[in-house]
Structure 1
Amino acid sequence: MSPAWRPSCPDESSYVRRLLAILLPGLLLLTACGGGDKAAPEPTSQSAGETAKLDSLKLTDNGDKKAPGVDFAKPLEVKEFTAKVITEGSGEKLSANQIATVSVAGFNATDGKALGDNFGKDPEQLELSDALKSGNPVMYGVFVGAKVGSQIALVAPGQPATEGTAAQPAQLYIARIMGVKEAPKPLSQDETEQLDKAGKLPKITFDDKGIPSASIPKTDAPSGLSVKVLSEGSGEKVAATDTIEANYTGWRWEDGKEFESTFGKNQPATFPLTGVIKGWTMGLTDQKVGSKVLLTIPSDLAYGADAAAQGKPAGPLVFVVEIKSKK
């Protein structure tokens, strides 16, 4: 059985979702927090790859509700992932750890045929996180420092045929930055402690076999991600891009129903923190190996409003996670 936390998209056949699957290292990325007294340098968008191949690319602006027209010298072939700002916007400049909202149109780079787009629909969200920087530094570099309103060309190389799959031509994507917003942050330690003292966090107990149980209060779930360390380990800290081995149990806040657990099975799960729900990535980053952590996750950092339609646990969720090791 597939673990409950694995991300899935209800419309994975769409070209917009395919773009995200190709370019993003995961759907659930960490919000990192900066610090220090010295101001960070002003970010500058960095084009990269075989950008000269995009010199012939011309865009026809059709407004925010319709994909732009494209014209370029065909075929457009690249050997490495390539990104370039084609037209610069006049809005706010994007910074690290923000969320860009983007509309995307895809094209066959061999013949220019349109593959699909989400213009006129809700833009996709792209988190400019450390996990994206690690997973696709070219994509990260071209978005960080770009301005709202900019149109960015992204070219993914063609893929040769393999057993069971046909060869894929290079694909051209035009991403328009529609807006920017701050990424969500966990509740502070003080806020979590206040909730706990007020009886507004689950109470966790472990039986003699180390299997957790949760008593969930009859109140509204916290509005933000709450992270409480039940017992701190002595191992290394976990990074947002690490793969970890962990035991976990998950409950729905609404009815206290347990929906999945590895405790007691002697089969810890192994997964990358770039491939889980946002609440897991945010809540487990910087925790130490050996720790047991209580995560109380609002629905927008879990499976969202359409969780039930995807066959996922709906609403706010509660997890106890024991970090066994990191890879």
Structure 2
Amino acid sequence: MRNLLILSVLTLFTVSQLACQKGKEVTTAGGNRVLNHTNLEGPKATFGKTVLISVNTWVNDSLVQSTSRDAGGPREIALPDSSQMKGKVPAVFEALMLMAKGDSATVIQPLDSTMKKGIPKSFGEVKEIRYEVKLVDIITPEMLQQRQAEEMQKAEGAKAQGMVIAQTVTTMLADYKSKKLANLKKTDTGLEYVIIEQGTGAPIKDGDNIPTNYYGIRKSDGKMFDNSYDRGGPAPFAVGGLIPGFNEGMKLLNRGGKAVLFIPSSLGYGAQGAGADIPPNADLVFYIDMGQ
């Protein structure tokens, strides 16, 4: 349904034929009504460019899709070349052609009988879909190149950091096995852990979604089975949605905290294991670095 809401196809139009003044509603050739709330000066979005947009999609009084709620913020999309549109343009794309960087607009898309079939009956009678659109930025090729260079540099930095963490975890496992590991603690469930930094942020609780760097090895032989550093950085983890030992270990920290967890198989993947690298009844060791 989301694809229907955002990408329902409409008739191609010529931008120069429309003048979307601030506070004035215009109707596009595709039959959509567009009200530009700001009408800022500057270059408009055009086909073939990459743009950064925020969109809230409403069906009657229900917010069914939101870039801030569902994607964590504005979404970057590449507007296809006009030759690829084959005479048809999505409603939001029509509005973007009338907007400059920083503009916001309301787009009303009437629904025909075919479109209405894609709307769940729970919404009742639906005659139109409303989009609240903001054109946050127009991304130039130079900006894309700079971003790619920054992402590459960030990925290389993460891999280098991962190599340091690997050595730290390997050393701590050796000390653990020789019973020389300092500051080792154990919970009532059997989770053993060493807190490296408690963290200065808010306490971590179930339901939190936290960017987390991690490095996991098998306790038996120290073989690495997964880590975030090789993928360029932290992964968003929902506290309470992971293996029990990992969930418990996260909640021992505040945001920004770091720890090494020694997770028995009963708090890990148990008798079923997980893929080729985590056999049944495997005890695991994780280094975790909780983001803010």
Structure with bigger RCO (C-alpha 8 Å, 6+ apart): 1
TM-score (norm 1): 0.33
> Larger Cα Rg: Structure 1 or Structure 2?
2
Higher helix share: 2
